[in-house]
Amino acid sequence: MGKLTVVGIGPGNYDNMTVRADRVLRECQVIVGYHVYVDLVRERYPDKEFLTTPMTKEADRCRMALDAARTGKNVAMVCSGDSGIYGMAALIYQLRGEDAEPEVEVVPGLTAACSGAALLGAPLTHDFAVISLSDRLTPWEKIEARLTAAAGAVLAIGNAIRPVAVVALAAAGCLMVLELLRERRSGGRRLCAALVRFALFAAVYAGVMSGLSGLVRLSGVNEAGLSSSCPEWKFVCGLNEETGGLYSEEDAALVFTSEDPRQTARELALERAQMPPARLLGLLDSKIKGMWGSVELTVWMLTPNVMDQVNASPFPGGTERLTRWIWLLSGGCYMVNFLLSALGGVKALRGEGGKRETAQMLALVSLAYFGAHLFIEIQPRYRSLMYAAAFPLAALGFDGLGGLWERRKKGRPGPENIGKY
């Protein structure tokens, strides 16, 4: 009876293969694997017998390797990356069953997750999670549940840094409703599945947030944990006409020196919310321009000597003129990106273009974030959280403009040549 060794050959190049994997491949008689992986090692071990199968034939490949080992040959099953992480090791053991023969040994390899991260200059350190999106050996429902749970945990950790998780939760809920409306034919089964996923997402988020908040309270940093001790304060600032929704020192002194800051902030926010519609629209206009069309010059604060250097340079007008140019150019770029993102969001919500669900989620998150800051405090730097969503949406909006230009350039096809378009 021969032996079957499941070998992780690393991410592809020989330099990343372990010494033990190389020794096994040199000593074996038969190499079995997916034809792409076998081609990676064929030239280095030309004297071996090679058995291959195409993609989607994983079970057949494993049976082929087991059968070859039962004929008395030493067989190596090659897997890219690691032999166990999304490799064939588990399937080999499963198909062999409780039989003691053939003998099976697993040789680990360098997984692509680690090598890819190192190549990007962002090596994986401490704790991390890897979820495969391949449903060849894992049911998609299980992958979907893992992604949902991971998303809830990541959202909670991110919320500890910047508390905007309610925006993502609202967007996820809206996306679920949109999908249910779109797939009404599926009836109750799809509704139940969507509700379960959303409940899992919210439950994991709430659990992780509660744990993090409890740790903060136990540390003695504050008694509120990660919760705001005065959530009404954001509305006090956001509805301040004098500052255009920005932070106010006067409001801070009024609220936080009172006997009951929350009650004071609540009363002040309600009072400001009752302003006439014309004034409210003026405030909202000012906030949109301030949040999405202005430039933040925090770079100057990071380099105190920059101003002196600019004033000493031959640049005409010195600091004042340079700042004005930066303000105009950067503000213009931000506003153009904002308008393109808005166009892309409309296109996504209408279900146009590829990756519909991804685009719609980005659009809903952006819409919720935009809507929230119409009423709470704004700062130009807050928009940086939306760059990851805004730039893909802006690209979608630019693509929409390009399509519109092409249609206008060609003209609308008439009935006689409509088949040409």
Q: Contact at 8 Å (CB) between 38 and 57?
A: no
> Does the residue 131 lie in any domain?
no
Same domain? For 106 and 177 the reply is no
Tell me if 95 sits within 8 A of 69, measured CB to CB.
Answer: no
Position 421 pLDDT exceeds 60: no
Q: Is 404 in the same domain as 325?
A: yes
Residues 25 and 80 in one domain: yes
Q: How confident is the model at residue 411 (pLDDT cuts 50, 70, 90)?
A: low
Same structural domain, 297 and 398 = yes
Q: Are 156 and 211 in the same domain?
A: yes
Whether residue 248 lies inside any domain: the answer is: no
Considering the domain architecture, whether residues 51 and 7 belong to the same structural domain is answered as yes
The answer to which of 125-129, 169-173, 183-187 has the lowest mean pLDDT is: 183-187
Using the 3D structure, point to which of 203, 219, 235 is the last residue of a domain.
219
Task: Kindly report, residue by residue over 88-111, the tens digit of the pLDDT.
Answer: 999 999 999 877 789 999 999 999
Which domain covers residue 300, as residue numbers? 279-409
- Based on the fold, state whether residues 82 and 144 are members of the same structural domain: no
Q: How far apart are the C-alpha atoms of 303 and 165, rounded to whole Å?
A: 33
User: What is the domain-level CATH number for residue 10?
Assistant: 3.40.1010.10
Residues 161 and 110 in one domain: no
Q: 15-47: per-residue pLDDT in tens?
A: 999 999 999 999 999 999 999 999 999 999 999
This prediction's pTM: 0.61
On whether both 110 and 200 belong to a single domain, the answer is no
Claim to verify: residue 39 and residue 81 sit in the same structural domain: yes
Same domain, 32 and 105: yes
Boundary residue ending a domain (219, 238, 270):
219
Burial class of 46 by CB neighbour count within 10 A (0 to 12, 13 to 18, 19+): exposed
Q: Which residue has the higher pLDDT, 128 or 162?
A: 128
Task: Quote the number of domains for the chain.
Answer: 3
In a domain, 263, yes or no: no
Residue 364 lies in a domain: yes
What is the average pLDDT across 62-71? 94
Domain end, chosen from 219, 236, 262, is at 219
Q: Both 155 and 79 in a single domain?
A: no
The mean per-residue pLDDT over the stretch 180-201 comes to 70
- Mean pLDDT, residues 303-318: 55
pLDDT one-digit tens code per residue, 353-407? 556 677 777 888 888 888 888 999 998 888 877 777 888 888 888 888 877 777 7
| 273 within domain boundaries | no
